[in-house]
């Protein structure tokens, strides 16, 4: 087949067939194996969504309990991995630590050194469980402290949140956190998922594909935005401060983190609406004046960006204040995004290995020709 038209950033290009998910922008629906992601977030749990993504169907009560047990049984990591993380430079970014951890993890799973979809599923479930334990302890271990390991009396989201904060979470906090995990779990073909599929398409293994996804997700144009949103809200201090800060940034032609989206363009990311409701519910139930102030600030930011740029928030804009209210360190916001997205990433690597076609696009050459060496 001859080369087709060049689309910068592959904007609008269909790069693969998939039965995993689809962003139906016109109907404002994020379809995940036939379900609306927002329905899943409101009615099911992240572990249910793991079953849907990795095994292809929503588990029943018994199936979810069994999957929860499997994830708990697989949640520990080799002690040597903590040693590796302790040897890394203290000032290393949490996402770079996570990239090292995911890459090293493959060393203890030699069976995964294949492109077998069934092995991908088995190893993938282990990585989904281990990612939560690793992410929750990235800062703790970097500071030379012992990791906090999962407690077999707790659910997956409760363990994850408890390992992060070291504090007993309330049921409302666990529920809010679980909704963010579902919101982050899968989203069609973002840069990091595409990176994973491109790597898997050479028949490279799951850990290599996931390592590439971590590297991509760190970027501020992608997963790194949630941390930048929180930094912006803290710098702004209040509603008027945020309006001034946004206007000043726009005047300098800077991007406002948490706004805009390649696919949603000038529409609201449905997940942002969901997490806005999650934030409102959390701060109302807690009677949290600081949380209520954050919510008002975010609304002001929305109003300014809509009137000045015709832009709407993406999920990172509201995930950040939810994580702040939950007492999560800002450095862990993007690592949590990765841990939640491992469910979708595993599904995409399984699908790529099962129906593979090597990704090898062409170029529009603009350099010189005919030079003599
Ligand atoms: C995620 O793909 C996914 O699904 C990703 C994700 C997932 O679940 O995996 O949804 C997660 O990555 C969400 C996005 C998080 N990133 C941010 O919040 C960073 C800020 N956003 C922007 O950098 C931007 O909106 C992108 C990167 C998200 C999308 O950029 P595009 O599609 O390349 O848009 P563009 O650069 O062509 O911008 C179009 C116009 C430009 O204006 P003009 O130059 O035409 O006048 O919109 C403007 C841009 O300047 N614009 C912004 C803006 N985003 C776009 N202006 C100010 N602030 C912004 N955030």
pLDDT digits (tens, 9 = 90+) for 280-306: 999 999 899 999 999 999 999 999 999
pLDDT, residue 1, reads 64
**Residue in 261, 269, 348, 353 annotated catalytic:** 261
Q: What is the pLDDT of residues 97-137, one digit of tens each?
A: 999 999 999 999 989 888 999 999 999 999 999 999 999 99
Ligand 1, atom nearest to 191 Cα: 2
Is 90 a member of any domain? yes
Do 291 and 205 share a structural domain? no
Whether residue 256 has its Cβ less than 6 Å from ligand 1: yes
d(C-alpha 242, C-alpha 236), whole Å: 5
Q: Where are the beta strands (DSSP E) in 120-241?
A: none
The percent of residues above 90 in pLDDT, for the chain, comes to 96
143 pLDDT more than 80: yes
**Residue in 109, 316, 348, 353 annotated catalytic:** 316
| Nearest by Cα to 346 from 176, 175, 152, 130 | 130
Do 95 and 55 share a structural domain? yes
Coil, helix or strand at residue 27: helix
CATH number at residue 315: 1.10.230.10
Residue 348 annotated in active site:
no
Tell whether the torsion through CA atoms of 180, 185, 188 and 189 is positive or negative.
positive
**Counted domains in the chain:** 2
> Mutation test of ligand 1: which of 246, 255, 309 has the most ligand atoms closer than 8 Å to its C-beta?
255
Is 144 a member of any domain? yes
Residue 261 annotated in active site:
yes
Determine which residue's CA is closest to atom 36 belonging to ligand 1. 262
Residue 222 annotated in active site:
yes
Do 268 and 140 share a structural domain? no
Do 339 and 316 share a structural domain? no
Determine which residue's CA is closest to atom 9 belonging to ligand 1. 190
Q: Mean pLDDT, to the nearest integer, of 221-243?
A: 97
Mean predicted lDDT score pLDDT of the chain:
97
Do 98 and 26 share a structural domain? yes
Say if CB 254 and CB 308 are below 8 A apart. no
Ligand 1, atom nearest to 223 Cα: 12
Q: Could you tell me the residue range of the domain that residue 253 belongs to? A: 222-324
Q: Mean pLDDT, to the nearest integer, of 71-95?
A: 97
Span between the terminal Cα atoms of the chain, in Å: 32
d(C-alpha 177, C-alpha 160), whole Å: 9
Say if CB 49 and CB 186 are below 8 A apart. yes
Helix and strand element counts for the chain (H, E): 16, 3
d(C-alpha 211, C-alpha 98), whole Å: 9
In this prediction, residue 3 has a pLDDT band, given cuts at 50, 70 and 90, of low
Do 235 and 203 share a structural domain? no
d(C-alpha 318, C-alpha 203), whole Å: 37
Element (H, E) at 244: helix 239-251
Q: Mean pLDDT, to the nearest integer, of 224-253?
A: 98
Do 106 and 25 share a structural domain? yes
- Rounded to the nearest angstrom, the distance between the alpha carbon of 253 and the centre of ligand 1 is 13
Do 196 and 68 share a structural domain? yes
Is 176 a member of any domain? no
Q: Mean pLDDT, to the nearest integer, of 37-49?
A: 98
314 pLDDT more than 80: yes
d(C-alpha 158, C-alpha 171), whole Å: 8
Say if CB 324 and CB 278 are below 8 A apart. no
Coil, helix or strand at residue 246: helix
d(C-alpha 137, C-alpha 150), whole Å: 11
- Rounded to the nearest angstrom, the distance between the alpha carbon of 267 and the centre of ligand 1 is 12
Q: Mean pLDDT, to the nearest integer, of 138-160?
A: 96
- Rounded to the nearest angstrom, the distance between the alpha carbon of 259 and the centre of ligand 1 is 6
Whether residue 348 has its Cβ less than 6 Å from ligand 1: no
pLDDT, residue 266, reads 86
pLDDT, residue 170, reads 96
DSSP sequence for 38-56? HHHHHHS-HHHHHHHHHHS
Whether residue 337 has its Cβ less than 6 Å from ligand 1: no
Do 305 and 213 share a structural domain? no
pLDDT, residue 265, reads 82
Do 338 and 283 share a structural domain? no
4 pLDDT more than 90: no
Say if CB 279 and CB 321 are below 8 A apart. yes
């Amino acid at each position: 087949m001859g080369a087709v038209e060049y689309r910068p950033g592959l904007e609008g290009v269909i790069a693969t067939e998939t039965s995993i998910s689809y962003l139906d922008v016109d109907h404002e629906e994020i379809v995940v194996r036939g379900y609306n992601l927002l329905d899943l977030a409101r009615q099911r749990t992240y572990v249910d969504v793991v079953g849907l993504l990795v095994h292809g169907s929503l588990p029943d009560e018994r199936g979810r309990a069994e999957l929860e047990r499997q994830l708990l049984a697989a949640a520990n990591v080799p002690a040597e991995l903590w040693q590796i993380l302790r040897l890394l430079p203290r000032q290393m970014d949490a996402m770079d630590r996570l990239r090292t951890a995911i890459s090293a993890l493959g060393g203890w799973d030699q069976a995964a050194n294949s492109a077998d979809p069934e092995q991908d599923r088995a190893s993938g479930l282990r990585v989904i469980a281990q990612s939560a334990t690793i992410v929750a302890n990235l800062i703790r271990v970097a500071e030379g402290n012992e990791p906090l390991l999962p407690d077999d009396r707790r659910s997956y989201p409760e363990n994850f949140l408890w390992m992060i904060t070291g504090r007993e979470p309330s049921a409302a906090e666990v529920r809010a956190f679980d909704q963010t995990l579902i919101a982050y779990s899968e989203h069609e073909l973002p840069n990091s998922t595409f990176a994973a599929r491109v790597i898997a398409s050479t028949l490279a293994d799951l850990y290599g594909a996931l390592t590439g996804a971590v590297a991509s997700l760190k970027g501020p144009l992608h997963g790194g935005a949630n941390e930048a949103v929180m930094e912006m809200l803290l710098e702004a201090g209040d509603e008027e401060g945020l309006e001034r800060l946004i206007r000043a940034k726009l005047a300098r032609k800077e991007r406002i983190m948490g706004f805009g989206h390649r696919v949603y363009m000038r529409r609201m990311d449905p997940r942002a609406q969901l997490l806005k409701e999650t934030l409102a519910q959390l701060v109302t139930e807690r009677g949290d004046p600081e949380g209520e102030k954050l919510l008002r600030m975010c609304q002001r930011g929305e109003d300014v960006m809509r009137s000045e740029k015709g832009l709407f928030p993406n999920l990172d804009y509201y995930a950040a204040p939810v994580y702040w209210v939950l007492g999560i360190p800002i450095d862990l916001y993007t690592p949590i995004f990765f841990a939640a997205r491992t469910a979708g990433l595993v599904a995409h690597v399984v699908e790529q290995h099962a129906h593979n076609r090597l990704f090898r696009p062409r170029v529009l050459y603009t350099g010189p020709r005919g030079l003599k060496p």
